[in-house]
């Protein structure tokens, strides 16, 4: 028998990214909202299981890359439309400005959602201060420092 998950199951990578589902409990709400900047802003934590979205270090890495890809695709489409139909300039403005905004927000949401889900699934974690301090104060070092103190110290 398969191990029973604590919640109703983990969503697939694509489903989690598309609908902003929590990678741990499947609850929607990975992002603050669905409009403007809220649509690509992670919520602080999951409202159901409390998974700390702030602890993931997705950052805005995909933003510049995606914007360039979407820009290239839309410019090619605009040139094809211009060559085929030669529409007035307002048709271009009406078509490509909203498509650029929608395309960028959608792609950014998808990319950030996928990155967070992948980080969760692979248990990736940014090395924190505690990890470094822990490495610095290894038991071996402490023992050696104690011995040095005893050798050099007064009896």
Q: Which residues bind Zn ion (CB under 5 A)?
A: 22, 24-25, 27, 46, 48-49, 51
Shortest distance in whole angstroms from residue 129 CB to Zn ion:
26
Distance of closest approach, residue 24 Cβ to Zn ion, in angstroms: 5
Task: Give CA 66 to chain center in angstroms.
Answer: 14
Which residue in 83, 37, 91 sits closest to 63, CA to CA? 37
Residue 21 bridge partners (DSSP):
28
Output 49 or 81, the one with its CB closest to Zn ion: 49
Give the C-alpha separation, 2 to 65, whole Å.
40
C-beta closer to Zn ion: residue 6 or 152 = 6
The tokens describing 125, both together, are: 């974690």
Q: Which is nearer to Zn ion, 36 or 47 (CB)?
A: 47
Kindly state the smallest distance separating residue 105's Cβ from Zn ion, in Å: 23
Task: In angstroms, give the least distance from the CB of 22 to Zn ion.
Answer: 3
Distance CA 13, CA 23 (A): 8
């Amino acid at each position: 028998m398969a191990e029973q998950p604590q919640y109703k199951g983990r969503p697939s990578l694509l489903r989690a990214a598309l609908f902003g589902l929590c990678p741990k409990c499947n609850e929607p709400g990975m992002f603050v909202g669905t409009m403007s900047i809220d649509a690509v802003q992670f919520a602080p934590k999951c409202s159901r299981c409390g998974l700390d979205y702030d602890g993931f270090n997705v950052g805005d890495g995909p933003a510049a890359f995606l914007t360039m890809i979407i820009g290239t695709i839309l410019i090619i489409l605009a040139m094809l439309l211009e060559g085929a139909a030669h529409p007035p300039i307002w048709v271009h403005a009406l078509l490509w400005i909203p498509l650029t905004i929608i395309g960028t927000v959608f792609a950014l949401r998808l990319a950030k959602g996928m990155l967070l889900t992948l980080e969760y699934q692979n248990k990736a974690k940014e090395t924190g201060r505690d990890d470094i301090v822990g490495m610095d104060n290894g038991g071996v070092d402490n023992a050696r420092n104690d011995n040095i103190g005893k050798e050099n110290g007064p009896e």
